Structure 1
Amino acid sequence: MTIRQTIGTAPDATAIEAIARDALERLPEPFRRHLGDIVLRVEDFADEETLAALGIDDPFDLSGLYTGRPVGEKSSQDSGALPDMIHLYRRPLLDEWAEGGETLEALVSHVLIHEVGHHFGLSDADMHALERMAE
């Protein structure tokens, strides 16, 4: 008798984005109100230029990134600037998920909320508090 185990495919970018959007919906209203214009992008890896600018050699070492100006640093002189973005990198997230003991939802939420924290200019302690509020 042969035992056959079915193993599903790794979550794609759409699935990761759905997890991230769900995490955004769980944030308290005062935070969600200021996230309406932020762009959420899920890509397999950061591009070479981004990795070089951050001094990162291994693309698996970057699971998320906020690009833009924190809310408290914005001014009316920012016209023409690119939109604020949160980038989530699928392959590093999946690698970390496979190696760790937490759910993919918890990991994606953690990385997303960390990047949201950068958008608001929060400290690490504030980011952890925000993460607890979104559970």
Structure 2
Amino acid sequence: MSAPASDWADLAAPSLADLERLAEAAFAALPDEFRRLCEGLVIQIDDFPDDETLKHMECESDFDLLGLFRGRSLAQGEVGAQTGQFPNMVWLYRRPILDFWADQEDTLGAVVTHVLVHEIGHHFGLSDEDMAAIEEAAG
């Protein structure tokens, strides 16, 4: 059931700060043991991926990438083991996430949780099944 038009008339699209709060809440809802393993992981919210990322990921449009993990996965060895190595980072891209959400029946919070878990899952080298179980535990 949709909200009455008057409920939506004064709402603005979620900002970068709004998406950051959703990502923080989604992260806080993840299982404790999963979050402990994420120590040092940086979560960044941007409107879109940069041009270099879009080219590297072979994206056809600015809206093709919802999130991205960059760094050294736990399967590759300890993070920060090399001098000058950047921290592991997860980017969530606001505009592609909002566009994806518009075509879904899920809440925006559920979409943000899904993207966050998927990208953190790359950090751990998890399977799609493992990530689905973590999402379910967070839900």
Q: TM-score, normalised by structure 1?
A: 0.91
Deviations 1:23-54 (A, max 9, x none): 11111111111223111111010000001011
Q: Which residue of 1 aligns with 2:14?
A: 11
Is the counterpart of residue 127 in structure 1 residue 131 in structure 2? Answer: yes
Deviations 1:33-89 (A, max 9, x none): 122311111101000000101111211010100101111212474231111000000
Q: How high is the sequence identity, in percent, across the aligned residues?
A: 44
Is the counterpart of residue 50 in structure 1 residue 50 in structure 2? Answer: no
| SS of match in other structure, 2:63 | helix
Q: Which residue of 1 aligns with 2:32?
A: 29
Is the counterpart of residue 106 in structure 1 residue 110 in structure 2? Answer: yes
- Aligned ranges 1:66-105 → 2 under 5 Å: 66-75=69-78, 77-105=81-109
Q: Which amino acid aligns with 2:111?
A: L
Query: May I ask how many residue pairs the two structures share in their alignment?
Result: 132
Q: Which amino acid aligns with 1:116?
A: I
Name the Cα RMSD after superposition: 1.5
| SS of match in other structure, 2:12 | coil
Q: Which amino acid aligns with 2:112?
A: V
Q: Which runs of 5+ in 1 are unaligned?
A: none
| SS of match in other structure, 1:60 | coil
Distance 2:107 2:43 in 1: 21
Q: Which residue of 2 aligns with 1:115?
A: 119
Alignment CA distance shift 1:101-1:19 (3 Å): same
Q: Which amino acid aligns with 1:14?
A: A
Distance 2:35 2:83 in 1: 22
Distance 2:10 2:103 in 1: 17
